[in-house]
Structure 1
């Protein structure tokens, strides 16, 4: 059975994980409260992703935090990852489902209303919505949608959703108020002097918000 929590979704960025490797950053983030981890490295190639991904799967075993691979389905299968995240220019989600089977998690990037209305809810498990803000970690992104756009796409997609794009701890309340289930962060954790402490601060902000509306 697929179970996952989108509350605090770490997207690994190799270029930022210099002082702390991607594996070190991941374990620190999980200790701090990260609930999902995505391995994203467009420059590594399939073999590079497999090498890091297998190491991540080993150290993440027993944590209950899923490892999602961005875009590269061959790497995801070889790693034995928990799922795959695809964008609009990547493999179609239905084709990914055919190869991965029903037990793996599939996420899909949503950038506008047209795409949100066409999501196949029988195939996709969650959507990543954004970019909320412009971000240097993904220079080829579509125009920023802001929090109003985020709220609209959350409603249209009708699936568990995680916001992405330039998000920091200061944005926790606005993201959750939009109806999204969580936020995906990159530089707010990757490259921070203390990734565990940085993650814990965001995780605590999420808990405080949810306690206030409970």
Structure 2
């Protein structure tokens, strides 16, 4: 069984980091409560991406926080990352699994109810549903809110009750509790973490909000 935790999933993006060093931000987030990190890059070439992921992995050292690469299976494998995250327009999960093998973590994005019903649960290790709220960090269809998240999560869990399911888009320490209380296993954040003036404090605030929401649900932390 793969060892990873989607509780607080920080997404490192060179367009949403205020021009700060991604490896340094990764360490700050990991030291303050992030449990999983993703490298997401829509502007740079392959060589730059491999170098950036390698730098993040080197900076994290022996940390238990795993590093996932958005979209690019080749970059994940070349840099020695722990996994890859696939969106609806990316490589399909079956092909990614054949290329990457069984050990690589594969995550998937879910946007529509139809997508929730059709995800290849036997091939992926987690799913994130978005967008819950409006966001400027990603190109998303109209936000579908808490009820839309809950509907999609229920469809996934009908076929894969043990698959970790998270939430993304427009989530902050101030509003993430409601989706955790609705059953989200984790929260993903881009700007609310890495465009914060104090990334460490923002990470801690997310973890407090998530843990308090879990406590209110009677969940074990």
TM-score, normalised via structure 1 length: 0.95
What CA distance in whole angstroms lies between the structure 2 residues aligned with 1:10 and 1:25? 10
Structure 1 residue 46 displacement after superposition: 1.4
Question: Which residue of 167, 170, 173 corresponds with 2:171?
Answer: 167
What CA distance in whole angstroms lies between the structure 2 residues aligned with 1:204 and 1:134? 23
What CA distance in whole angstroms lies between the structure 1 residues aligned with 2:58 and 2:76? 14
User: Is 1:198 equivalent to 2:197 in the alignment?
Assistant: no
Structure 1 residue 87 displacement after superposition: 0.5
Q: Give the conservation status (yes or no) of the 8 Å contact 1:54–1:79.
A: yes
Q: Give the conservation status (yes or no) of the 8 Å contact 2:37–2:66.
A: yes
Q: Secondary structure at the match of 2:191?
A: coil
Q: Give the conservation status (yes or no) of the 8 Å contact 1:20–1:191.
A: no
User: Is 1:155 equivalent to 2:154 in the alignment?
Assistant: yes
Q: Secondary structure at the match of 1:188?
A: helix
Q: Secondary structure at the match of 1:10?
A: strand
Matches within 5 A, 1:61-210: 61-138=61-138, 140-158=139-157, 159-210=163-214
- Where does structure 2 lack aligned partners over 5 or more consecutive residues? 158-162
What CA distance in whole angstroms lies between the structure 2 residues aligned with 1:114 and 1:22? 35
Structure 1 residue 165 displacement after superposition: 0.7
Measured on the aligned residues, the alpha-carbon RMSD in Å equals: 1.2
What CA distance in whole angstroms lies between the structure 2 residues aligned with 1:19 and 1:114? 37
Q: Secondary structure at the match of 1:27?
A: helix
Q: Give the conservation status (yes or no) of the 8 Å contact 1:148–1:178.
A: no
Structure 1 residue 17 displacement after superposition: 1.7
Structure 1 residue 37 displacement after superposition: 0.3
Aligned length: 213
Q: Give the conservation status (yes or no) of the 8 Å contact 1:111–1:129.
A: yes
Aligned to 1:59: 59
Q: Secondary structure at the match of 1:38?
A: strand
TM-score, normalised via structure 2 length: 0.93
What CA distance in whole angstroms lies between the structure 2 residues aligned with 1:33 and 1:212? 20
What CA distance in whole angstroms lies between the structure 2 residues aligned with 1:118 and 1:65? 29
Q: Secondary structure at the match of 2:15?
A: helix
Aligned to 1:213: 217
Select between 29-38 and 14-23 the one with higher mean Cα deviation.
Answer: 14-23
Structure 1 residue 4 displacement after superposition: 1.2
Deviation readout 1:20-68 (Å, 9 max, x if unpaired): 3111111111111000000001111211110100011111221111100
- Where does structure 1 lack aligned partners over 5 or more consecutive residues? none
Select between 162-171 and 204-213 the one with higher mean Cα deviation.
Answer: 204-213
What CA distance in whole angstroms lies between the structure 1 residues aligned with 2:70 and 2:198? 25
Deviation readout 1:189-213 (Å, 9 max, x if unpaired): 1121110111011111112222233
